[in-house]
Amino acid sequence: TTRLVNEKGELGKKQRCFNDNGPEILKDSRATFANIVNTALENAGLEERIDHRSNKDRGLEALPTKNEGVAVTHMRRRYEEEKKKPIHERNLDIILPQLAQENDAIKIHNLELEILATEKLLQKLQKNNNFNFDDIRNKYNREKSTNFDDLFIKPHQKASEENLFDKLDNAISMLDLNQKTNDAIDQFDFEINKMKAEAERKAEQTRLQAIAEAKAEENRQAKVKAERKVEEQVRLRAITEAEAKHKAEAERKAEQTRLQAIAEASDQFRPF
């Protein structure tokens, strides 16, 4: 809220300055919030810290995801529920929205960056300190110990050792990234295959629809042709009937003329 809040939790007047200086106020508010949280974390003896700055301002290669909103989030949940069903029972009309697919691709990209950074860290540790991280991890898992001093003892490098162990501790906590990446890649492959299947299904529907439309057009043309043939037959029948009628009328008139001529000839040669 942009309204003032008193110690009783009651809302006061709305602050109009946010309308004109919203971005700057929001940036300052985020910085203030980050400082408060980090102070609380430090007072609690925790090493975690938050940073309100963007990835770009922090010099990170990780890409930011986009806000999916209520509609996309709802479709994602429906899609996730649909994925739990056997493939033959799934509703292929429920697909992951484009924005959600883009965000998933960004998450995979960022995860790959984290894995690459972890691998570089391990390589650096192996190169600078002459040890095999797999041996350390195996020994750590066997002994179920978090005391790295039992694994490495270098009294003359105590300061660098503590820094090294802090890095190792962070690296161990990220060991599941490879599995997460494999899962993400498998999921991505599944989505690609599903999209491919959906595209093939739609292409088949389009093909069948085109065949049906072509058949319908063929039937329509055949119907039009048949109707035209009937019309032509009716026209020819009408012409024939008209010609026959005209011929009969001509013959009737000719017969009348002949009979009239005979009658007239009889009157001229009748004796008195």
Q: Answer yes or no: do 209 and 168 share one domain.
A: no
Average confidence (pLDDT) over 238-247:
87
Among 137, 162, 194, the domain-final residue is: 194
Indicate whether 153 belongs to any domain: yes
Quote the pLDDT of residue 50.
93
Quote the pLDDT of residue 177.
53
Q: What is the pLDDT of residues 66-114, one digit of tens each?
A: 999 999 999 999 988 988 888 888 888 888 889 989 999 888 888 888 8
Number of structural domains, the chain?
3
One DSSP character per residue, 20-44 reads HHHHHHHHHHHHHHHHHHHHHHHHT
Q: Is the pTM of this model over 0.85?
A: no
Average confidence (pLDDT) over 226-254:
87
Indicate whether 92 belongs to any domain: no
Q: Answer yes or no: do 124 and 159 share one domain.
A: yes
What residue numbers bound the domain in which 252 lies? 202-265
Q: Answer yes or no: do 170 and 223 share one domain.
A: no
211 burial type by CB count under 10 A (0-12 exposed, 13-18 middle, 19+ buried): exposed
Indicate the average pLDDT of the chain.
78
Among 194, 214, 241, the domain-final residue is: 194
Q: Answer yes or no: do 155 and 133 share one domain.
A: yes
